[in-house]
Chain A
């Protein structure tokens, strides 16, 4: 039981801890930003400027009664939220969030900041996020309610449709980086044009980045693509019949998925923890990483409170007839140029 092993375990624990807190912070950030955008304060009473509001929310949800509708499927009704949140946590397992570090000389061998690093890391994230849809679909079916069922059906159709564009936009980055490991992709962006412009893939793949972000919003079921829980049509969609802790797990899974989506976007398109050599040399690259993730998450929330929801047929039309062809063309052009310049 050497020091390195203990540190690595501690990093895994820290990642888990950060994800749990990310959902709490995001709930607060969402309500605060929404408040400012609608010219009001948002939560203000619990703690200074409402900073302890998530804690109060969680306590309230913990002490509520757990209800299960008559005729609901006993096992699947309980399994659905667990599946949702497990998939959300597991998807982060191959996302690196910092460079190799010795903790300011504490360790003789450097350790990697992140849970694990495997050579098909990106595909693992993709596989696990595609498992996440089961949670929503099962919640919709097991509730034995019309609104929930429609929410679940919409979730499955939407996620299958947008997964394709999502994966195709990622393939172009994989092609440029030449690796499926996220850590390699990040490190391949540690190059500068003319000595100061960072060679991030967002500059080489602007269309790919836009497609990734749009498909990412659809994959996490966020507005303007939040059809599984469209409240004007479906009450609350797939989680209509849920209460207490079981209910709490669904928004938690959604916020963790958002964090994962933003972290992957940072690693793939924004250079991960690279970009500010001064901080990197101090071993604080992860601060840059967190700042970039924060910017993307802000954009997520900003979008939600700016754009109205699409219509369902518009969503399908947009996904299949515009986003998918655009991502395929993006991939083909990237491949052709790559072959022309390097082959």
Chain B
């Protein structure tokens, strides 16, 4: 009973806050609502017997990345997005581009509907392991991450490093030219 209630509470919160992230125009509120949505998701992860994932989500996304977002929003000092004055000549507003975006959104909806309709056929345990034991302990998770998936893990970290170097190069001011 309590678990069902908590599930609906957290999923409801996650959906409502996520909707308001794009549903209102103050970028500051958007960042905070996204943090709230991460919090609700962390609650769902705990219900799925994955406390480490929940805490990692809070530390990495809510605690570090969103603070950076907040930092940027504060520095830009944009009080509200002005929907009435948007630039109609912007390349992203070209009819071909917008129609392509609409097509992608349609595909996403179909995909989601298909996945939801087939959800009952799937009987895979949460952990995805054959014997059905959950990977909930941190030690177990570390072993899986650093032994079975070590290549993917290292490849991801190199990808992030490359992206970071790229960002630094793009943001650097050319002082000697």
Tell whether, in the assembled complex, residue B74 and residue A180 are in contact, meaning their CB atoms are under 8 Å apart. no
Chain B residues whose CB sits within 8 angstroms of the CB of A133 once the complex forms: 63, 67
Question: How far is the CB of B61 from the nearest CB of chain A, in Å?
Answer: 10
Tell whether, in the assembled complex, residue B59 and residue A126 are in contact, meaning their CB atoms are under 8 Å apart. yes
Tell whether, in the assembled complex, residue B58 and residue A149 are in contact, meaning their CB atoms are under 8 Å apart. no
- Complex alpha-carbon distance, A118 and B50, angstroms: 12
Contact of A156 among B35, B52, B71, B137 (CB under 8 A): B71
| B145 contacts chain A at the CB level, 8 A cutoff | no
Tell whether, in the assembled complex, residue A180 and residue B138 are in contact, meaning their CB atoms are under 8 Å apart. yes
Contact of A134 among B56, B59, B67, B138 (CB under 8 A): B67
A137 and B51 in contact, given A123-B56, A149-B74, A152-B74 (Cβ under 8 angstroms) = no
Contact of B58 among A73, A127, A152, A156 (CB under 8 A): A127
Question: How far is the CB of B106 from the nearest CB of chain A, in Å?
Answer: 36
- Complex alpha-carbon distance, A128 and B35, angstroms: 13
- Complex alpha-carbon distance, A138 and B74, angstroms: 10
- Complex alpha-carbon distance, A138 and B32, angstroms: 10
Chain B residues whose CB sits within 8 angstroms of the CB of A149 once the complex forms: 74
Contact of A130 among B59, B68, B71, B74 (CB under 8 A): B59
Question: How far is the CB of A292 from the nearest CB of chain B, in Å?
Answer: 26
Q: Which of A109-125 touch B at CB < 8 Å?
A: 118-120, 123-124
Q: In chain B, what residue has the closest Cβ to A141?
A: B74
- Complex alpha-carbon distance, A76 and B32, angstroms: 10
- Number of chain A residues whose Cβ lies closer than 8 Å to a Cβ of chain B: 27
**1/0 per position for A147-176, CB-CB distance to B under 8 A?**
001001100110110010000000000000
Q: In chain B, what residue has the closest Cβ to A153?
A: B74
Q: Which of A286-312 touch B at CB < 8 Å?
A: none
A119 and B137 in contact, given A130-B64, A131-B58 (Cβ under 8 angstroms) = yes
Chain A residues whose CB sits within 8 angstroms of the CB of B63 once the complex forms: 126-127, 130-131, 133, 163
**1/0 per position for B139-157, CB-CB distance to A under 8 A?**
0000000000000000000
Q: In chain A, what residue has the closest Cβ to B55?
A: A123
Tell whether, in the assembled complex, residue A127 and residue B74 are in contact, meaning their CB atoms are under 8 Å apart. no
- Highest count of chain A CB atoms <10 Å: which of B28, B67, B138: B67
Q: In chain A, what residue has the closest Cβ to B53?
A: A120
| B70 contacts chain A at the CB level, 8 A cutoff | yes
Question: How far is the CB of B162 from the nearest CB of chain A, in Å?
Answer: 20
**1/0 per position for B64-85, CB-CB distance to A under 8 A?**
1001101100110000000000
Question: How far is the CB of B145 from the nearest CB of chain A, in Å?
Answer: 15
Contact of A157 among B56, B59, B71 (CB under 8 A): B71
A119 and B28 in contact, given A137-B74, A156-B67, A156-B70 (Cβ under 8 angstroms) = no
If A127-B55, A156-B70 are given as contacts, then 10 extra A-B residue pairs at C-beta distance below 8 Å, sorted by A number, are A73-B28, A131-B62, A131-B63, A133-B63, A134-B70, A137-B70, A138-B32, A141-B28, A149-B74, A163-B64
List 9 tightest A-B contacts by C-beta distance, closest first: A130-B63, A127-B58, A123-B55, A127-B59, A156-B71, A120-B51, A127-B55, A156-B67, A120-B55
